[in-house]
Structure formats: C-alpha cells, structure tokens
Amino acid sequence: MKKGIIILIVLVVVAFGIYQWAVGFNNTAVEYEAAAKTAWSNVESSYQRRNDLIGNLVKTVQGAADFERGTLTDVIEARAKATATTIDANNLTPEKMAAFQEAQSGLTGALGKLMVVVERYPELKANQNFLELQSQLEGTENRINVARDRFNEAVNTYDVHTTKFPGKLLAGLFGFKEMARYQADPGAEKAPDVNFEFK
C-alpha cells in the first residue's frame, strides 16, 4: 500500500513536471512567434513608406516637361505590383517570401533607372520637393534594411527555440512551424560593376 502511494506520488510529480515544461515551451514559442510577426509588420510598414514616397516622387517627376514616359511607366507598374504582393504574417512561407522579394526588387530596379534618368534633367535635380523626396527615400531604404535584419533576428530566435531538442518534439504537437527568413536578392553576393566615366 505504502509502495503504491509512493509510486503514485512520483508519477504525479513527473506528470506535473512534464506539464510545466510543455506549458513553458508553448508560451515562450508563442512570444517568439508574435515577436517575429511584429518584426514582419515593421518590414511591411517600411516598404509601405517607400511606396508612399515613390507615389509622391512620381507626381513630382510627371510635372517635368519631356520626361521619359517609359521609365516613369516602369516605376508606376513596379510600384503597383509591389503594393499588390503582400503576405499574411501567419503564413510566411519561403515561396511567398520569394514572391514578395521579387516584387520589391522589381520596384527597386525601376526606381534605380528613374534616378539615373533624372540626372539628365537639371530642373528636376534643382527641384526642392524632388530633393527632399530623394533624401527621404534614401533614409527609408536604410529603415527597410534595419527592419529586415530585425525580422531575421526574431525569426532566428523563434526557429532555434522550436527546432532544438527536446522542444522540437513539442513544436510539431503544438503546430509551430519553421518560419522563412528574408533572403538577399539573387546576385547580391557579387560586387557590382562600377564604371566611372570622366568627361
């Protein structure tokens, strides 16, 4: 009888310990997942700021006489594609992240071409509104980079927690899946060609 009670107490203590461990794992995973989702929202917010600034930039450039319409059209179309490509923070899959990155990279490329073309228009380069927007865009690009880095850090914390043993055993039971990180654009590892032409 005494032996049976001791065994029962040991089983209850072990079961309670496992329960506490599982609750602790789950609650920490929920916190880390929420932090990663918030970090993703900050990435999207930074890109939204860029899209808003580009809208104002396009309006300013459209006012310039004889401005190259094809370049402007490319920016407008790339901006529309970038704003249409969004990801629900609850579904950050590698495929959706790749599509998001592709749309944003397309806008970055179109914007880069626009800035090169602007060099041929002294009246635009002297326009105070344009200069202010250009400066804000540069600052926003820095914000985007910081937001992406913070997102990747938050995802890393979450992924390490949910994939390390023995937590990995519970992650599957509780429905925690590995999150996709923001990756560098293809070809970003190569140094760009820089060609200085002196006239």
| Cα–Cα distance measured from residue 35 to residue 88, given in angstroms and rounded to the nearest whole number | 15
CATH of 2-174, one of 1.20.1440.20, 2.60.40.10, 3.40.640.10, 1.10.3720.10: 1.20.1440.20
- The model's pTM is 0.79
Q: Which of 82, 75, 74, 81 is nearest to 46 (CA)?
A: 82
- The domain limits of the chain are 2-174
| Cα–Cα distance measured from residue 182 to residue 192, given in angstroms and rounded to the nearest whole number | 21
Tens of pLDDT, residue by residue over 89-130, are 888 888 888 889 899 999 999 988 888 888 888 877 778 888
The per-residue pLDDT for 66 is 64
Greatest mean pLDDT among 66-75, 143-152, 171-180 lies in 143-152
Cβ contacts of 175 within 8 Å, gap of 6 or more: none
Tens of pLDDT, residue by residue over 127-159, are 888 888 889 999 999 999 999 999 999 999 999
The per-residue pLDDT for 38 is 94
